[in-house]
Amino acid sequence: MKRILWTVALAAGLTGPVLADTPVTQLMAQETRALRAIPGDRMASYISRPEIGIDYSRDWLSQQRVGTLDRETQCLAEALYFEARGESVRGQFAVAEVILNRVDSTAFPDTLCGVIHQGTGRKYQCQFTYTCDGNSDNIANKDAFDQVSRVARLMVDGAPRRLTDGATHYHTRSVNPRWARVFPRTATIGVHHFYRQPTQLSQN
């Protein structure tokens, strides 16, 4: 319900000071930019997902059911394993947010597998390094994969995205990509900096 109310408010143009002190704004402010980036044909699917309460702890996560992973959830779990298995639970959810935010953006493919494997086949020209670095994608740590599978399941099933403020990009602190100089940074969690791709407004 909160997500639907917030979406209606955005559609009506009720932003900024108009809603500054309402409970809806206090709860949903960090989803504002992410929602604005979702095109109309994907919005209905987004707001119809059930909201899931999240406790970013290993104990809580270990109690969540995984079930059989469909292809899309499997793609997300694999990406989290290779990109963030050494991160905290919060850090793993944050990376998952980026991938799902890309799915909801018209600038990227509209499936999880499509986003994750975009550019695969061209060495070091892919979006996620593990898919094109030439190394074996062997999942050796089963416990780590079990954990990220739970994260993937929760995110696909509709967990809120409130950690990265609509981020569509991230990188580790050890590198400094050129795009990071112009993309607004939205969060730093663990070893990753998170960024939102700038919106280009049309000139009238």
Q: Are 37 and 104 in contact (CB under 8 A)?
A: yes
Confidence (pLDDT) at 190 = 95
CATH code of 147's domain: 1.10.10.2520
Confidence (pLDDT) at 135 = 77
Confidence (pLDDT) at 4 = 38
Task: Please choose, from the candidates 165, 192, 175, 155, the residue with its C-alpha nearest in 3D space to the C-alpha of residue 46.
Answer: 155
| Residue 96: inside a domain | yes
Tally Cβ neighbours within 10 Å of residue 163.
Answer: 21
- Mind listing the pLDDT tens digit for each residue in 50-89? 567 889 999 999 999 999 999 999 999 999 999 999 999 9
Residue with tokens 């018209």: 106
| Residue 200: inside a domain | no
Q: What domain count does the chain have?
A: 1
Confidence (pLDDT) at 126 = 80
**Ordered per-residue pLDDT tens for the chain, 204 residues:** 334 333 433 344 433 434 445 444 544 554 555 555 555 555 555 555 556 788 999 999 999 999 999 999 999 999 999 999 999 999 999 999 999 999 999 999 999 999 999 876 566 668 888 878 777 788 999 999 999 999 999 999 999 999 999 999 999 999 999 999 999 999 999 999 999 998 764 343
Global confidence as pTM: 0.73
| Residue 100: inside a domain | yes
| Residue 102: inside a domain | yes
Residue-range definition of the domain harbouring residue 148: 56-195
| Residue 44: inside a domain | no
Burial class (CB within 10 angstroms; exposed 0-12, middle 13-18, buried 19+) of 180? middle
| Residue 101: inside a domain | yes
Tally Cβ neighbours within 10 Å of residue 167.
Answer: 28
| Residue 175: inside a domain | yes
